[in-house]
Structure 1
C-alpha cells in the first residue's frame, strides 16, 4: 500500500488589510512593534552585560586557581609517570577521585607563506602536494545565460521579486 504524500499547506492569513488607510495604519503599527522589539533587545543586552560583569571577577579568580591546581597535578604526574602508567604500558592512571591521561595528538601541518610554499613545491617537482579545485563559475554563466540554457542541472533564476515593508523612522541627531 502506497501512502499518499503529505502536502504542506500555507497557514491561513489572519489579518488582511482592506484599504489604503488600513495599510497605512498597519505599517505604522508594524513600525511601533519593531521599535519595541529593539528596545526590549537593548534592555535584555544591558541586563546580560550587568550579570556578566557581576560574575566576571569571581570567574577569573576560579580560572586562575584551576590553572594552578592543574599545573601542580601535571608536575606531580610527570614526575611519577612510570609508576602511574606501569612503565609506559598504559596511558591512563586512575587516582580514585579521577584519572589522568597522556594522549598523543595526530600529526598536523601548518603552512606559512602559502604562495612561496606552492612555488617551492612546483620548483621541486612536487605538484602532488598541490590541490587544484574545480568549480562552476556562476558569474560567467549569468553573463552568458543563453549559451548554457540547455545544459542539464543549470537553472537561471530571474525576475524573482521580494516584498518589503519599511516603516519610516525619525533619527534623533
Structure 2
C-alpha cells in the first residue's frame, strides 16, 4: 500500500508513531526540529483526543499506520494545514469511515485537492468497497465537494449529514 499521496500543492502522509508520541510528549521539541511548520492550532481537538488510542493501535500493529491519522502538508509554506482520520482498517464488508479537518485560512481549492486525492487513494485500495464521511448542513462548500466526488448523502440527523460512496467493481469477461 502506498504510504504517501502527492498532489500539485499537497503532500498527504500517515502520521508515524514517533510523530504521534512527540505531539503529546515533546511538542515544543518537535516544533523546533521539524522541517515542516506545525501550527499552534494543529492538531484539531478531535485528533488530540484520539492520539493516545491511535498510538496504542500503532504499538500493537504497525500495519495500522495507513488506517489512522494522516497529515496534510502544503508544499509552498512547508506546513501542516490539516488532517484526515480513518477510523481503522476496512471492516469485514470493506467499508471505511474518515473525517477531516483543514485550516480554514487556506483556500477551498486546498480542501478540494486534499479530498479528491484522499478519496481516490481510498478507492484504489482493493480491500475497500465503500467510504463514508460526514459534515454539517452549513458546510456548503464541503457538500458541493462531496457531490462532485460522487458521494451521496445517505442520512441526515438534524444538521449532521452522512455521505457515502460505494465502489463499483466492473465485471471482466474474457
Q: Would you call these one fold, judging by a TM-score over 0.5?
A: no
Report which of the two structures shows the higher radius of gyration computed on alpha carbons: 1
Normalized per residue, the structure richer in helix is 1
Normalized per residue, the structure richer in strand is 2
TM-score of the two chains, using structure 1 as the length reference: 0.15
**Greater RCO, CA 8 A, separation 6+:** 1
TM-score of the two chains, using structure 2 as the length reference: 0.15
